[in-house]
Amino acid sequence: MENMVAQDERMAEYLEVADEVAAKYAGRRGSVIPVLQQVQERVGYLPPEVMKRIGERLGVPPAQIFGVASFYAQFRMAPVGKYVVKVCHGTACHVQGAGAITDALCDELGVADGATTEDGKFTVESVACLGCCSLAPVIMIEDNTYGRLTPDEARKIVREYGD
Amino acid sequence: MAKTGATVEVTVGLSSCGIAAGAADVFSAFQREFKEKGVDARLRRTGCVGMCYREPIVDVVTSGGAKYTYGELTADRVGRVVEEHVVGGKPVDEWLVRAEGRELPDETYYDQQVRLVLRNAGVIDPESIDEYIDAGGYEALTKVIKEMSPDDVIEELKASGLRGRGGAGFPTGIKWDLAKKAPGEMKYVIVNADEGDPGAFMDRSILEGDPHSVLEGLAIAAYTIGAQEGYFYVRAEYPLAIKRLRIAIEDATERGFVGENILGSGFSFKVHIKEGAGAFVCGEETALIASIEGQRGMPRLRPPYPAVKGLWAKPTNNNNVETYANIPWIISNGAAAYAAYGTESSKGTKVFALAGKITRGGLVEVPMGLTIRQVIDEVGGGVPEGRSFKAVQLGGPSGGCVPVEFMDIPIDYESITKTGAIMGSGGMVVMDDSTCMVDIARFFLHFTQDESCGKCTFCRVGTKRMLEILERITAGEGREGDIELLEELGEKIISSSLCGLGQSAPNPVLTTIKYFRDEYEAHINEKRCPALSCKALITYDIDPDKCIGCTVCAKKCPVGAITGERKEAHTIDQDLCTKCDACRQACKFDAVTVR
Ligand SMILES: Cc1cc2nc3c(=O)[nH]c(=O)nc-3n(C[C@H](O)[C@H](O)[C@H](O)COP(=O)(O)O)c2cc1C
Ligand code: FES
């Protein structure tokens, strides 16, 4: 029961974020994507209720909001871990052994690629290119990029975040 | 920057690649050292000089003006550089990679380079408009506004021979002319900074290293075609580029280079930044426009071209980051000076991002017409020792793999297209004998299949079928006829897709089949991967003659597949082995073999 109250409270908070961000963009053309980006930045993902609210506030049909959100890889429909470990699988990283980095990280954290650890701490995610190709293979956690990695070094890095 | 004052100047390269290698810590270490030791030296920040393989990079310019460049200068080395060089005046020789008057190996990295687009990258502080102006920045915009008509600008661009650097190589002067002539009160200009090629970082480095050059080029375009508003469409994965661009726009607005009534001319121009949301197809200009408008990024049929009907259905000019960065240089130095570089059909320079199996991976700018070999071997230092060059991938998912036979062709749009690859935006990923070409084809198809927007059936379903076949081949389950099926599907996808994504998606497969058919055949007929890369087709063993039983591999193995008594030869349980390669990397006696 208490849990549900907490959930409702959290959702109320999310909706407030949606209201606040949408208000900044009211009446401006082409604002769906920036609003979704900023809301996700603060909420962590885009629950259906929140997308519906954004649609109402911007005067855009919810179907269109869902359509946009589902088109772009950046938008998430489910919550993610505290740290999202982005493993680059761009061309340069691929030829320099990105596969082994993902394998090592998934093994270290005990999750599948794309999944979140049970404690909600880490999500392992494959991304296309982090733009540091000459330091391949590369991973990024929050705004920190780590390059020239070996599988062991990648393990060490996530261990540091885990502590 | 030329040194004028009497103090020593220390410059740290703070671009994304530098920071990934620890440059931010290096910067703080210098700050701390200077403060603690009361050192009277100036600490500066700059962008990427292109020697990514040496990051973190630090320049020390002495009070006499001599410049010394340190490579791989990690934070723990800062103390010694401060003490011996900054204070003591004696360079730390063993960490130097470039210095005037000395013959250091990295000097040759720049021998073939001509840095027009990258003129300021790694030189000026990208967050300082004053340093940009001191380096001649905004002179071109001033000249255009005060002395040139829009038609003068277009004539100059046509004479320069500049072609779009976003991949297709459309002549920029003609493009601007179309947008200028298109009727309409309201017009737009767009910078395509979506940089979708996964393995390329030219545009990121330009924006991080010299954002004003792109902004100045954009403002010149706006003046020329008569646009009132401009958009930078930047990949969301490039936070630092976005940050520096924001600073550049604010500063340029404050100084009156963009905004209301620019330089008192009555011409006003407003600039916005739009962050991409992770869709490769949004690099295609009509999809990009749909995305700025807040819609799903679906390409539409052209014509009408954006020059006539673009953003919000108004005439719009869209160019790549590098294209714009060329403009101020051309205006300031003249079309003839630009056209003096390059070949008959491809003028000027091109920036390339060298990565993959290459000794000196980084960002280089060379005149068109240099051969691929010169770029890879002479500039990039070739593949690392002990390996042999196999192919270079140009043009990313729309491009192809160019084999060693074509290493001596000149870099120009037409010659590269003849190989089946494309110039593309400038990504060059080098591959050696350990790279499996079938796997590379599978890798790109996985990418394009994932990124297909789904509008065209052949692109959506066809790429999926091709991917399934490639997955089957690399898993050792290839069948006779698979190669022919891939070729047939590829040709159909090319001919029946609406946008460049589908029209080029089969290229990486078709070029690898063309040049490396034997590798496909080995996978299919012999169930063998010649590069020893496809996991399903290789086995790991321990050579009992070489193994001394040190147990290191057994400890490393994450799945416990290796057993054996201490001081006795170990063995691998093939059922458990995941072929992660950890044992081979750990073994100091080369006892782990791969077949
Ligand atoms: C699937 C696809 C992806 C593209 N991605 C990019 C890109 O990331 N950056 C870019 O400048 N051009 C990209 N282009 C090319 C653009 O459509 C357009 O031709 C280019 O931005 C024009 O600029 P330019 O004339 O300066 O080359 C892409 C095209 C296609 C078909
Ligand atoms: S390919 Fe990994 S950073 Fe570009």
Which pLDDT tens digit goes with each residue over B294-336? Answer: 999 999 999 999 999 999 999 999 999 999 999 999 999 999 9
Contacts 24+ apart (CB under 8 A), B42-45: B42/B5, B42/B7, B42/B8, B42/B9, B42/B10, B43/B10, B43/B11, B43/B12, B44/B1, B44/B9, B44/B10, B44/B11, B44/B12, B44/B125, B45/B11, B45/B12, B45/B14, B45/B125, B45/B126, B45/B127
Q: Tell me the pLDDT band of B1, cut-offs 50, 70 and 90.
A: very low
Residue ID of nearest Cα to ligand 1 atom 31:
B500
Strands B562-563 and B571-572: antiparallel
The mean pLDDT value for B517-544 works out to 96
Q: Tell me the pLDDT band of B4, cut-offs 50, 70 and 90.
A: very low
pTM (two decimals) = 0.95
Measured in degrees and rounded to the nearest 5, phi and psi for residue B231 equal -130, 135
Cross-chain Cβ contact B356/A146 below 8 Å:
no
The mean pLDDT value for B377-393 works out to 95
- pLDDT at position B371 is 97
Give the pLDDT confidence of B158-199 residue by residue, as tens digits: 999 999 999 889 999 999 999 999 999 999 999 999 999 999
- Exposure string (b/e) for B92-105, b if CB count within 10 Å is 16 or more? beebbbbbeeeeee
Measured in degrees and rounded to the nearest 5, phi and psi for residue B274 equal -120, 130
B583 pLDDT above the threshold of 80: yes
**CATH 1.20.1440.230 domain locations along chain B:** 437-525
What's chain B's average pLDDT? 95
- pLDDT at position B64 is 87
Task: Report the greatest alpha carbon distance in chain B.
Answer: 85
Thinking of the domain B129-338, which architecture would CATH place it in?
3-Layer(aba) Sandwich (3.40)
Measured in degrees and rounded to the nearest 5, phi and psi for residue A72 equal -95, 135
User: How far is the C-alpha of B410 from the C-alpha of B110, rounded, in Å?
Assistant: 19
- C-beta separation of B316 from B307 below 8 A: yes
Closest C-alpha among B207, B189, B211, B213 to residue B140: B213
What is the DSSP code (8-state) at residue B461?
I
A72 pLDDT above the threshold of 90: yes
Q: Tell me the pLDDT band of B6, cut-offs 50, 70 and 90.
A: low
Ligand 2 in reach of B199 Cβ (< 6 A): yes
Mutation pick from B443, B451, B507 vs chain A, by most beta carbons of A within 10 Å, is B443
Distance from CA of A14 to the nearest CA of B (A): 21
**CATH 3.10.20.600 domain locations along chain B:** 349-432
Q: Where are the domains of chain A?
A: 2-71, 83-162
The mean pLDDT value for A72-95 works out to 95
What is the DSSP code (8-state) at residue B384?
P
Pick the CATH number of A83-162 from 3.60.21.70, 3.40.30.10, 3.40.50.300, 3.30.470.30: 3.40.30.10
Query: Does domain B7-106 match CATH 3.40.30.10?
Result: yes
* Burial (CB count within 10 angstroms: exposed 0-12, middle 13-18, buried 19+), residue B283: buried
Local structure of B39: helix, strand or coil: coil
- pLDDT at position A4 is 84
**CATH 3.40.30.10 domain locations along chain B:** 7-106
- pLDDT at position A143 is 83
User: How far is the C-alpha of B241 from the C-alpha of B261, rounded, in Å?
Assistant: 27
User: How far is the C-alpha of B164 from the C-alpha of B166, rounded, in Å?
Assistant: 6
Cross-chain Cβ contact B294/A30 below 8 Å:
yes
Q: What is the CATH number of domain B349-432?
A: 3.10.20.600
Give the pLDDT confidence of B209-231 residue by residue, as tens digits: 999 999 999 999 999 999 999 99
Mutation pick from B296, B311, B428, B445 vs chain A, by most beta carbons of A within 10 Å, is B296
User: How far is the C-alpha of B253 from the C-alpha of B264, rounded, in Å?
Assistant: 13
Edge-first strand order for the sheet with A83-88 is: A122-127, A83-88, A139-141, A144-146
Closest C-alpha among B448, B421, B503 to residue B281: B448
B3 pLDDT above the threshold of 60: no
Instruction: Supply A130's token pair.
Output: 């982090």
- C-beta separation of B71 from B362 below 8 A: no
Give the pLDDT confidence of B81-105 residue by residue, as tens digits: 999 999 999 999 999 999 988 889 8
Distance spanning both ends of chain B, measured CA to CA: 54
B239 pLDDT above the threshold of 50: yes
β-sheet bridge partners, residue B193: B234
Of B196, B296, B435, the CB nearest to A95: B435
- pLDDT at position B103 is 87
Q: What is the CATH number of domain B437-525?
A: 1.20.1440.230
- C-beta separation of B163 from B413 below 8 A: yes
User: How far is the C-alpha of B463 from the C-alpha of B37, rounded, in Å?
Assistant: 62
Q: How many CB atoms lie within 10 A of CB B348?
A: 25
Q: Please give the number of the atom of ligand 1 that sits closest to the Cα of B397.
A: 1
Cross-chain Cβ contact B16/A145 below 8 Å:
yes
- Exposure string (b/e) for A103-133, b if CB count within 10 Å is 16 or more? bbbbebbebeeebbbeeeebbbbebbbbbbb
Q: Tell me the pLDDT band of B2, cut-offs 50, 70 and 90.
A: very low
What is the DSSP code (8-state) at residue B110?
T
Closest C-alpha among B506, B510, B511 to residue B397: B506
- For B241, the closest chain A residue by CA position comes to A131
The mean pLDDT value for B117-142 works out to 98
- pLDDT at position B485 is 98
Of B17, B235, B279, the CB nearest to A134: B17
User: How far is the C-alpha of B472 from the C-alpha of B474, rounded, in Å?
Assistant: 6
What's chain A's average pLDDT? 94
From B232, B285, B413, give the residue whose CB has the most ligand 1 atoms within 8 Å, as the site to mutate.
B285
CATH class of B539-594: alpha beta
Q: What is the 3-state secondary structure of B289-332?
A: HHHHCCCCCCCCCCCCCCCCCCHHHCCEEEEEHHHHHHHHHHHH
Q: Tell me the pLDDT band of B406, cut-offs 50, 70 and 90.
A: very high
Cross-chain Cβ contact B427/A74 below 8 Å:
no
- pLDDT at position A163 is 81
Dist. CA B285 → ligand 1 center (Å): 6
- pLDDT at position A1 is 54
Distance from CA of B237 to the nearest CA of A (A): 6
User: How far is the C-alpha of B429 from the C-alpha of B393, rounded, in Å?
Assistant: 5
Q: Tell me the pLDDT band of B72, cut-offs 50, 70 and 90.
A: very high
User: How far is the C-alpha of B331 from the C-alpha of B96, rounded, in Å?
Assistant: 37
A26 pLDDT above the threshold of 90: no
Q: Let me know how many helices (H) and strands (E) chain A has, helices first.
A: 7, 4
Instruction: Supply B157's token pair.
Output: 């661009």
**Taking CB atoms and an 8 Å cutoff, what residues of chain B touch A37?**
236, 275, 277
What's domain A2-71's superfamily in CATH? NADH-quinone oxidoreductase subunit E (1.10.10.1590)
Distance from CA of B20 to the nearest CA of A (A): 5
- C-beta separation of A159 from B590 below 8 A: no
ipTM of the complex: 0.94
The mean pLDDT value for B409-432 works out to 96
